[in-house]
Chain A
Amino acid sequence: MRRLLIPAAFFAALVGLWKAGTVFGGWSPVLLPPPEAVVEYLWGALKDGSLVEASVVTLERLLLGYAIGVVIGLPLGLITSTSDIFQDTIGALALGLQTLPSVCWIPLALLWFGQTEAAMLFVVIMGTVGSVVIATSAGARSIPPIYARLARTMGSEGFDKWTRVILPASLPFLVTGMKQGWAFAWRSLMAAEIYVTILTGFGLGHLLHYGRELSAMDQVIGIMLVIIIIGLVTDKTLFAPWERFMHRRWGTGVVQ
C-alpha cells in the first residue's frame, strides 16, 4: 500500500506544480498548456483511434528492429568474448557504434533507403546492435573461468557449453545489455520517426513532429507522456521478470 501511495502522491504533486505554473506563471497557454488540455487531447486521440494506431505502428517498428538488433548482437557479442583479436576488431567497432548517437545515422539512412520503413528499421538496428554486442561480450568475459573448467570435466562442450553454461552464467550482464539495447532502440526510433516522414505508418514520433508543426503543445506534451509510459510499461513487463528471476537465483538486488 505504501509502495502505491507514496508514488501516487509524488506524481500528483508534480501535476499540481504544473497546474500552478500555468495559473500563476504567466506563460502563454500555447507554450505551456494546463494538464487538463493535455488530458483532453489524449482522450480525443484515444477516442478517434489515432493514438492507439500510432502506438501500435511505433511498437511494431520497435520490436522488429530490436529483435533484429539482438539476433545480430548476441552472437556477435559471444564471438567477441572468445578472443582478444575479436575484442580489438568487432568489440572496438561495436563500441564506436554505441558512442555514435543514433540520430547521426539518419542522414545516411535517408540517402540509402529514402523515406521508407527500411530507413527507419536501419536506424533502430544500428542503434541497438552496438550496445547488445558490448554487454554480451562483457558478460561472457566476466564469467568465472572455473565454470567453463567444470563444464568441460562434466562433458559439456561446444553448443551445450554455450547454451547451458556460458549464456546462463552471463545472464546478469545480458539483461543489463538487453535493457540498454532497448533504451537505445527506443531513442533511435523516436529520432527516426521525427526525421523520416513516410506515409506507410504514422508513429508516435510523427504525432510529436506534427504537434510541433501545428504548434499544438497539448499534443506534444501528451505524446511525450505516452512515450514515457510505454517505456516504463515495457521495462516492467519485458525485463522485470528476468530481473526478478535473476535476483532470486543469484541472491542479488537488495542493497542494504
Chain B
Amino acid sequence: MSATDGFTAAPPAKLAVQHVSKWFRTPRASVQALDDVSLDVDGGEFVCLLGPSGCGKSTLLDIIAGLTLPDKGQVLADNIRVLGPGRHRLVMFQESALFPWLNVFGNVMFGLRRAAGLNAAQQRQIADYHLNLVGLAKFKKAYVHELSGGMKQRAALARSLAPDPRVLLMDEPFASLDGMTREQLYFDLQRIWEERKKTIVLVTHNVREAVCLGDRVALMSPSPGRIREEFAVKLPRPRDINTAEVAALAQRITSALKGL
C-alpha cells in the first residue's frame, strides 16, 4: 500500500476556547496559570501556541485535550463542551510516551483497538497505512528502545493519527530532537497535515518552528498566562524553516516577545 491511497478522514473539528482561566493551588500559594484566554481555531487550521516557559501554553493544551478542566470558561469542540479527554482530540507529548512492552505496530494499534466500528483486519490496515505515512513501515516490528528520538516521535505521530481524531494536540513534540531530525519532521508534518486534514494545535517555544508550521501563531505571555497577540502566517507551503520569509516573520514575533 502506498502512502497516498488514504482512508477517508473524519472532518476536522472547530475549536473555541472561551474565557478560560486556571489556577494551580499549592499548599503555600495559588498561582494563576491562565487568565481569560480565548482562542478560535477553524476546522483544519494549524495553530501554534508560542511563548516562554511558564506562560501556561501546555496547560491550555491540556485543557483543550480535556485532561485538565478550567476553573472558569469553557472549551467547545464542534460546539460541544469539552468535559474530559476524548478520542477525537489526541495528544502528542514532548517525550514520545510509547509503551516499551509493545513494538511500534502494537503502539499504533493501541488506540485503534479501542476505536469503535473497526474489525481486526481494518485496524491492522489502518495501522500499516499510518506507519507508511510517517515512514516507519520497515520498523513496525522494532521495539521502542531500538528507535532514534526522531523515529520515536514519528511512531507517536502515527499512534495519534491512526484512530482518526478530529484534532491533534502537540505539546512541544520536537523539543528534544536534534536540529536536522527536526527539520525533516517539519516537512513530514506539513505533508501529513495536508494529506489528513486535521485541526492541529501545537505548543512550542521555538519562534521559527511556530512560523514554519502554523497558519496562525498565538503569542502567549506569562504570569498569568494570556494570549497577547496573534500573527497570521500567509506563506506558501510546504515551508522551509531556513527561508528568509520565515526568518523575517520570526524576527517580528521575537520583537513582540521582547516587548512583553
A→B interface (CB under 8 Å): 144, 146-147, 149-150, 152-156, 160, 164-165, 168-169, 171, 248-251
Contacts and interface: CB of A to CB of B under 8 A. Distances in A.
B67 A165 contact: no
Interface string B80-107: 0000011101110101010111100000
B91 A248 contact: no
Given A171-B101, A249-B144, 4 more contacts: A147-B97, A154-B114, A249-B100, A250-B101
9 contacts: A147-B99, A155-B86, A156-B110, A165-B99, A168-B101, A169-B101, A171-B101, A249-B144, A251-B100
A169 B102 CA distance: 10
B6 to A, nearest CB: 22
A248 B97 contact: no
A interface majority secondary structure: helix
B145 interface: yes
B151 interface: no
Nearest to A150: B97
B34 to A, nearest CB: 19
Interface residues of B, number: 25
Interface of B: 65-67, 85-87, 89-91, 93, 95, 97, 99-102, 110-111, 114-115, 143-146, 163
B109 to A, nearest CB: 11
Nearest to B145: A251
A20 to B, nearest CB: 48
A142 B37 CA distance: 34
A146 B97 CA distance: 6
Contacts of A169: 99-101
A244 to B, nearest CB: 13
A171 B101 CA distance: 9
B143 A248 contact: yes
A168 B85 CA distance: 22
A249 B101 contact: yes
Contacts of B91: 149-150, 153
B88 to A, nearest CB: 10
Contacts of B93: 146, 149-150
Contact of B143 (A154, A160, A249): A249
A244 B21 CA distance: 49
B97 A154 contact: no
A150 B97 CA distance: 8
Contacts of A250: 100-101, 143, 145
B190 to A, nearest CB: 24
A218 B85 CA distance: 68
B143 A153 contact: no
A164 B114 CA distance: 11
A250 B101 CA distance: 7
Contacts of A156: 110, 114
Nearest to A167: B101
Contacts of A144: 95, 97
B99 A149 contact: no
Chain B CB count within 10 A is highest, among A154, A164, A251, for A154
Chain A CB count within 10 A is highest, among B89, B100, B143, for B100
A155 B101 CA distance: 19
A30 B247 CA distance: 90
Given A146-B93, A146-B95, A154 B101 contact: no
B220 to A, nearest CB: 22
